[in-house]
Amino acid sequence: MGVTVKIPAQLRAAAGGESEAELEGATVREVLDSLYERFDGLSARIADENGSLRRFVNVYMSGEDIRFLDGLDTPVSDGAELTILPAVAGG
Amino acid sequence: MAVTHLRCRECQAEYPLEALYVCDRCFGPLEAAYDHSRLGGDVDGLRRRIQAGPQNIWRYADFLPLVDGPPGPSGRLASRTGLPAGCTPLIRADRLAKRLGLREVWVKNDAANPTHSFKDRVVSVAAARARELGFETIACASTGNLAGSVAAHGAALGLESYVFIPADLEEQKVLATGVYGTKLVAVKGNYDDVNRLCIELSAERDWAFVNVNLRPYYAEGSKTLAYEIAEQLGFELPDRCVVPIASGSLFTKVVKGFDEWRELGLVEGELPRMNGAQADGCAPVARAFAAGHELCKPVKPDTIAKSLAIGNPADGPYALEEARRSGGSVDSVSDEEIREGIALLAQTTGIFTETAGGVTTAVLAKLAARGDIDPDERVALVITGEGLKTLDAVRDTFHVHEIDPSAEQFTTLVERAPADATGVPAAFANVGQER
């Protein structure tokens, strides 16, 4: 068992059309790194050259924005679900 | 029409005018782009064309992202099609100005829209574009005002609608939405949770989520607030504008509206100083401004100003840029100051605003008290919503004299009652009187 990453519609073309990926990793950063390894080209879209998330990318672990946790260093437990979504304004 | 394509605000990549909102390349937000040279260079002619337009936002159709022109069988009928928004009063508020030690304050009262908030501007544009694109269902994630506006526009245009709100929303806003016959979904969570759910749902459904996949069109509607303020001042700009910030979209689009008209020569002069207004209980943009940051750290909202309770403001970085570029600021006020702001506006102008307007008024008072405003400035105060939607905010801020139907009781219990016997907190007693 690993971690389920939900891929947003805008990135599916770069992820072989997949809407989810089963990956391994102890932190959000490690899980995302294995996502980037599996799908070429995803890294450039959601992370900048330093590996930080671009400013319009939000990542949620089990529904909670990782910026309320430990960001990319947030520990990920087996069976957790990570969701990548674009930031959208409006109210 | 002058609209030409969608463009990524971050990397400038271009996209067709479809139901798209995120750049595939960098995840940046898409924005409507225009070729205003198509309008010709005749500034006087353009002004006359605006003034001859309908008494609603479609008088600015040349600057809005509709491909087929104003909705309705003809431009002449645009004033009677759908649920026309805009052309709300701009009122010179001399008593408010005097109370704050200022010379010229104008109140833009956007509570005077069909569903009593500025959201009718953005929804009018999004719903019209949804029809152009062939959608049969409109939907939204809302902090309350958008909910009522989407439900009402769905009813007016014969479109099915789904409205998603946080479960703890004010009862008045829930009732004023459900009445229109929408499918109303109360989500157990805050607005940021509702927004996340809607972004997920929008990927799998063929609906026009006005503030998700139709967002580039929706957001443009807010520019009409800037156009109207300028037109109502006789095609002149105010020196300063105080505007509430939730996601930051309204604030940045008001700037875009002023900038477009400055570039076209419809108005002259500098961009007004832009002051953003937030509640202390949800002030990610104000905090980033004070700290000199370019990004906003998200917060968990806790404020009576629920219509501004967006803890993760996606347009926050742009709002920060515009506040700094214009020489303005972003400030926040406490819940108590919000309630005082509502009372101050009501007692000096006769305008009863919701908590968001209390935030805006209280921030204006704060700027004036701090000496940030030159007394000779012309200031525009943007009031985005109606007080009847947040009635709890004014509970216990005034005294009701209860008497028998007796002239004697009226004399003794009302006319001769000591001023301090009403039990009303001093901050609210005669707040509109000159001190």
Report ipTM (2 d.p.). 0.88
Closest CB to A56 among B28, B142, B193: B28
The per-residue pLDDT for range B280-299, each reduced to its tens digit, is: 999 999 999 999 999 999 99
Question: pLDDT tens digit string along A35-91?
Answer: 999 998 889 888 988 888 998 899 999 889 999 999 999 999 989 999 999 888 665
Written as one string, the DSSP assignment of B271-332 is: PPEEEEEEETTB-HHHHHHHHT-SS-------SS-GGG--SS-TTHHHHHHHHHHTT-EEEE
Cβ of B298 and A65 within 8 Å? yes
Q: Which residue in this structure is represented by tokens 């703890």?
A: B168
CA B392 to chain CA centroid, Å, is 21
How near does any CA of chain A get to the CA of B353, in Å? 18
Q: Report the pLDDT value the prediction gives residue A40, as an integer from 0 to 100.
A: 86
Q: A56: which chain B residues are within 8 Å (Cβ-Cβ)?
A: 10, 22, 26-29, 314
The pairing of beta strand B208-209 with beta strand B137-141:
parallel
| Nearest residue of chain B to residue A65 (CA atoms) | B298
Is B413 buried (19+), middle (13-18) or exposed (0-12) by CB count in 10 A? middle
What is residue A50's predicted lDDT score, i.e. its pLDDT? 86
In chain B, which stretches have pLDDT less than 70?
74-80, 420-427, 429-435
Residue identified by tokens 């930080």 is A52
Alpha helices in B37-162 (DSSP H): 43-51, 94-100, 119-132, 145-157
pLDDT for B255 equals 98
DSSP string, B229-286: HHHHTTS---SEEEEE-SSSHHHHHHHHHHHHHHHHTSS-SPPPEEEEEEETTB-HHH
| The predicted structure's pLDDT at residue B435 | 46
- Convert the pLDDT of each residue in B78-117 to its tens digit: 666 789 899 999 999 999 999 999 999 999 999 999 999 9
CB contacts, 8 Å: A6 with chain B:
200
Q: What is the pLDDT of residue B284?
A: 97
Angle between helices B316-325 and B284-291 (to 10 degrees): 50
pTM, rounded to two decimals: 0.94
Q: Cβ B21–A63 below 8 Å, yes or no?
A: no
How many Cα atoms within 13 Å fall on the side-chain side of residue B172? 16
| Measured distance CA(B88)–CA(B55) in Å, rounded | 9
